[in-house]
Structure 1
Amino acid sequence: MKYLVILSSVLLLFSCKKTGENLVLKQGQVGENGDLTIEAVELSDSRCPKGTNCIWEGYPEAYIKVTKGDSINHLSLGGYTTYDTIMFDYQIALIDITPNPEIEGEVKAYKRKAHFTLKKL
């Protein structure tokens, strides 16, 4: 019975329609999806640390460089701007920046990771 449940779960997973690729990048890292290249140039997070009360809630923000062939675009996702965009026939969305800010002190830039989804249109 246990194997039947596992087999059913695996079959269900592979039968689901793929909605996009997940991409996780640290600051300075470059990721690829087909013919699209994304570099996480700078990641910042001014959100209020968990367990505290802040006057301003803050926001995560990713400054990225998107390249396809000879075309290069720089843009910011998050912050007061949009969290997703369409570029080079891809929908690029910033899902989150982790880890969340902590009460004990600022999260160092090299520990931050930007979580994106990329969907070919």
Structure 2
Amino acid sequence: MKNLIIALLLASTAACTQETIDLSPKLATKVELSFDTEVVYQEGVKIKITKIEDSRCPKNVTCVWAGMARVFFTITEKSISKDGSIDFESNPVKTTIDVGGQKYNVEVSDVLPYPKDTNETSQKEYKVSLTLSK
């Protein structure tokens, strides 16, 4: 019976692909998120990275355009969700998203890793440093 319970717990854990960070930071605290990872703030607001597109010019490669990384995210407050995206080049960049009448500022300060060669980086390898505030 004990082995059955352990097997069921492991199976249910393996079925979950979304990761939730249990730090419970306050709004306006910088956090680092990966693809498909959600953070829940003390105020009850959630933000989740849903996709990253990276067209930045790899290091040691000559490009006509420096490129950018586009970060897609979802903000949820009181069961109301709003999708958004932000284009990051090299300096911190902000956007404002309205979720159910409440405006939130999203600032992305870094997207890592920076491309090193022409090989594609998988979604799970990316880390996005962002700050969510009112």
Give 5+ residue unaligned stretches, structure 1.
1-18
2:117 equivalent to 1:106 = no
CA RMSD across the alignment: 2.2
The sequence identity of aligned pairs, in percent, is 23
Distance 1:90-1:32 versus aligned 2 partners, 3 A rule: same
Give 5+ residue unaligned stretches, structure 2.
1-26
- In structure 2, what is the Cα distance between the partners aligned to 1:104 and 1:64? 25
Task: Output one character per residue of 1:35-71: Cα deviation in whole Å (capped at 9) or x when no partner.
Answer: 2100100012110011221012110111111100021
- On the 8 A contact 1:47/1:59 being kept in 2, the answer is yes
Give the 5 Å matches for 1:26-41: 26-33=34-41, 34-41=43-50
2:109 equivalent to 1:95 = yes
Aligned residues: 101
- In structure 2, what is the Cα distance between the partners aligned to 1:89 and 1:72? 13
- In structure 2, what is the Cα distance between the partners aligned to 1:118 and 1:105? 31
| Matching residue within 24, 34, 45 for 2:32 | 24
4+ aligned runs moved over 2 Å, structure 1: 86-90
TM-score (structure 1 length as normaliser): 0.72
Q: In the alignment, what sits opposite 1:9?
A: none
| Matching residue within 55, 67, 72 for 2:76 | 67
